[in-house]
Amino acid sequence: MFPEHRPRRLRTTPAMRRLVGETTLRPRQLILPMFVAEGAEAPRPIASMPGVVQHTRDTLRKAAVEAVNAGVGGLMLFGIPKTRDAEGSGAIDPNGILNVALRDLRSELGDATVLMADTCLDEFTDHGHCGVLGADGDVDNDATLRLYAEMGLAQAEAGAHLLGPSGMMDGQVGVIRSALDRAGRTDTGILAYSAKFASAFFGPFREAVDSQLKGDRKTYQQDPGNVREALREIELDIAEGADMVMVKPALSYLDVVRAAAEASTVPVAAYNISGEYAMVEAAAANGWLDREKTILEVLTSIRRAGADMILTYWAAEAAAWLD
């Protein structure tokens, strides 16, 4: 076959490589997760995630506008309350930090972006779990669902376009969808964290939200070795009314992203999580990696695996590079 077949002909110039490129990475495919802390008077740096902060309400507005102007496709919001309790009541309170911040951003941005809310109790509970605990100390799935329905309604009323149930409770999508529809919130969508694994890469995120967790979440998050189970979760969430599904983490689960993309009838998101971010930032800070090239390669790999959209802490910065 050689020398008649020379694949390098299609790599000769930047224009040629651009012409035959198979995977696109555009700002609209990037979603920026953001943290807002109740009572914060100035942004609080997150040590394990250089460049990421817990925002004040004012700095959140400013950073959100900048990200949208850079072209990002959406914003995913997490709230850090001053006080917590066993049921995470701050998540449902209309005046809780997450719901207040959602109203701030919806007022500031309107429909210029897709405003998303993390629909989970873990930031708001004094035990750090994603649901309420039963007498045996385990998470009570069905009691948690009732609170998720209330939380979802509060977030929809505060202005979220999409709710992000991330607690991995059985039936969570169906319960939230039913509650929204009964309340006339039929236009509020659900981005289901369908395949969320019990990953070691979540460590920096727990610092970011000041998590109170002791122990682990293995009774509700998935075993990192299971793919068929992930696909079953995705299938169930779509059947319950999910408008989009997510695989989390992304970089260490690219095979699951690919399998999800091939099986799903709705758009697939992947979350490039805190530990993946922290690894690249640490290596780049030590001069071991070219930061910009590595970030773009990481994001491209997630798109190549089949993700329609990527949640990433680099979203605003990468969007500026891409444009």
- pLDDT tens for 210-227 read 788 787 888 889 999 999
E strand or H helix that includes residue 236 = helix 228-240
Residue positions annotated with a catalytic role: 196, 248
Per-residue burial over 194-224, b if 16 or more Cβ lie within 10 Å, else e, is bbbbebebbebbbebbbbeeeeebeebbbee
What 3-state DSSP class applies to 322? Answer: helix
CA separation (Å) from 108 to 34, 57, 63, 66, 210?
Answer: 15, 12, 11, 12, 27
**Cα–Cα distance, 303 to 95 (Å, whole number):** 37
Among 72, 119, 98, 90, smallest CA distance to 313 is for: 72
Average pLDDT over residues 125-147: 93
* pLDDT of amino acid 217: 87
**Cα–Cα distance, 74 to 271 (Å, whole number):** 13
Indicate the pTM of the whole model.
Answer: 0.95
Q: Taking a C-beta distance cutoff of 8 angstroms, is the pair 265, 238 a contact?
A: yes
Which amino acid is present at 91?
A
Average pLDDT over residues 114-140: 93
pLDDT digits (tens, 9 = 90+) for 185-206: 999 999 999 999 999 988 888 8
pLDDT digits (tens, 9 = 90+) for 273-317: 999 999 999 999 999 999 999 999 999 999 999 999 999 999 999
Which amino acid is present at 32?
L
Q: Is the peptide bond before 7 cis (omega within 30 degrees of 0)?
A: no
User: Of residues 218 and 105, which shows the higher confidence score?
Assistant: 105
* pLDDT of amino acid 206: 84
DSSP string, 127-163: S--SS-B-TTSSB-HHHHHHHHHHHHHHHHHHT-SEE
